[in-house]
Chains A and B, each alone.
Chain A
Amino acid sequence: MKMYPLNNKLFTITANMEGWELFSNSLLPMITGAIQATIPLTLISFILGLVVALLTAMMRLSKSSLFRVPAAIYVSAVRGTPLLVQLFIIFYGLPSIGVTIDPFPSAVIAFTLNVGAYASEIIRASILSIPKGQWEAAFTIGMSKGTALRRIILPQAARVSVPPLSNSFISLVKDTSLASLILVAELFRKAQEIAARTYDFLLLYVEAAIIYWVICFILSLVQAALERRLDRFVAK
């Protein structure tokens, strides 16, 4: 197992530190964990997840069961199993069949598959929420199904799905803490490592919670601003 250094030039934490000193000295390693792992893990998984989600949504809306059934099974399997179990299968399970993947990419795979499944339901519902009249208007100006989808339906569906997708994004930030259990050096793992040394569990875990809260609060402000801007251009 790889060890992650707690001390480097920038900060030092010793076993006898406590209170405010421990809190402020832990801030930097935890924020570093957030910047180096939590945030990239969230962003990469979310973007890749959206691509998977769009493909899955298209497959589930297809007329052919050749596309529909595999997509439905994928969504059902991901939604029906705990995220932690999925992470463990990928990181601890796959090596027994010779597939060894590092912690960070393992986490990316698990979170991408997760976002892909949940977001595909959101995207599918948003596409279905666009009134039939929009398809018909597109057809009457000569559009094919594909063009209508691309030019008329998806832009509106994207706007409808912004609020639920933002919620997924914020949930994902918090869910990445699970990656600490497959050794990804993200925010919460940093908290665990420091706590293992200083035994000040309450302080360090509350500190981690505060940092998550700040990140999610900022994201919720961004979400509100985004929704205000996009709200207007959807057929009611």
Chain B
Amino acid sequence: MFLTIKGLAKSFGDNKVLKGIDVEVEKGQVLSIIGPSGSGKTTLLRCINALEQPDKGIITFDDGFEINFENKVSKQSIQSLRRKSGMVFQSYNLFPHKTALENVTEGPIIVQRRNSKEVKDIAEGLLEKVGLKDKMNLYPHQLSGGQQQRVGIARALAMEPELMLFDEPTSALDPELIGEVLNVMRDLVKEEWTMVFVTHEIQFAADVSDKVIFMDGGYIVEQGTPKEVLKAPKEVRTQQFLQRVLNPS
């Protein structure tokens, strides 16, 4: 198993947000996380790269890297954990004082200290792949939301992570811009990136996922293939949730 999460728990003060989460992701697999607002989806995703530090739980990768959050966790292991994944944010979080290209090259050059000429070529290639080669010298404020999010994806890919994390990458976008971002993500699926999505796009999750997790109240209520969870859910809470999202009225 590429990534194994065991017994993950996280509270904010008295608010128990994750109450013991077990997740497994295989190499090249796409895992979608769905669930009602406040169910802890974002928190789970952010625990995978320690943007939130879990209170409990063990995260293990297939190369033997392991963090047990019940013990004291060093800065180095947090750094190593972060190096494994790239993250795409709901609100893009591009660096506004840097051009699209500089946003993509910043990590590889400054953090990974790779050769800046090579990195620039790779970054241009990535921006071409997300359809933005002609915009690479523009600043974020000169780009549409969809374009900014595609730069965000290129920025994460440039670090050559083993795992890509997406937190509702399209939910801040106008409806007509969602497609261009989902298309880029479809390409990543074809390239067999290992990915974890938090998404409200049920149809997209059904199309691309290998596995779907339905979360509610800090627990995983149900998980399985998209067919199992989205087409024939066993749990009442999943059925109600899907009812609500798919037939809003």
Residues of A within 8 A of B (CB): 131, 133-134, 136-144, 147, 151-152, 155-156, 159, 232-235
Contacts and interface: CB of A to CB of B under 8 A. Distances in A.
Contacts of A142: 79, 82-83, 107, 111-112, 159
A38 B167 CA distance: 55
Interface of B: 49, 51, 75, 79, 82-83, 85-87, 89, 91, 93-97, 106-107, 110-112, 139, 141, 155-156, 159
A232 B89 contact: no
A233 B75 CA distance: 31
A137 B94 contact: yes
Contacts of A155: 97
Contact of B95 (A137, A139, A147): A137
Nearest to B104: A141
Nearest to A159: B97
Contacts of A151: 106, 110
A156 B96 contact: yes
Contacts of A235: 93, 95-96
Closest 4 CB pairs of A and B: A141-B107, A137-B93, A133-B93, A142-B111
A134 B112 contact: no
B82 A140 contact: yes
Instruction: Select the residue from B79, B86, B93, B139 with max chain A CB neighbours within 10 A.
Output: B93
B110 A140 contact: no
19 contacts: A131-B93, A137-B89, A137-B93, A138-B95, A139-B51, A140-B49, A140-B87, A140-B156, A141-B106, A141-B155, A142-B83, A142-B159, A147-B111, A151-B106, A151-B110, A152-B95, A232-B139, A232-B141, A234-B97
Contact of A134 (B49, B95, B141, B159): B95
Given A141-B155, A147-B111, A155-B97, A133 B106 contact: no
A152 B111 CA distance: 13
A143 B112 CA distance: 9
Contact of B96 (A136, A140, A141, A234): A234
Given A141-B156, A143-B111, 20 more contacts: A133-B91, A134-B93, A136-B93, A137-B87, A137-B89, A137-B95, A139-B51, A140-B51, A141-B106, A141-B159, A142-B83, A142-B107, A144-B79, A147-B111, A156-B96, A156-B97, A233-B97, A233-B139, A234-B97, A235-B96
A142 B87 CA distance: 11
B36 to A, nearest CB: 23
Contacts of B75: 144
Contacts of A131: 93
Contacts of B97: 155-156, 159, 233-234
B98 to A, nearest CB: 8
B120 to A, nearest CB: 16
A142 B82 CA distance: 6
B82 A233 contact: no
Nearest to B141: A232
A142 B156 CA distance: 10
B83 A136 contact: no
Contacts of A144: 75, 79
Given A139-B82, A142-B79, A233 B111 contact: no
Given A137-B93, A234-B97, A235-B96, A143 B110 contact: yes
A143 B159 CA distance: 12
Contacts of B83: 142
B11 to A, nearest CB: 19
B54 to A, nearest CB: 16
A140 B141 CA distance: 21
Contacts of B86: 140-141
A105 B155 CA distance: 50
A28 B20 CA distance: 79
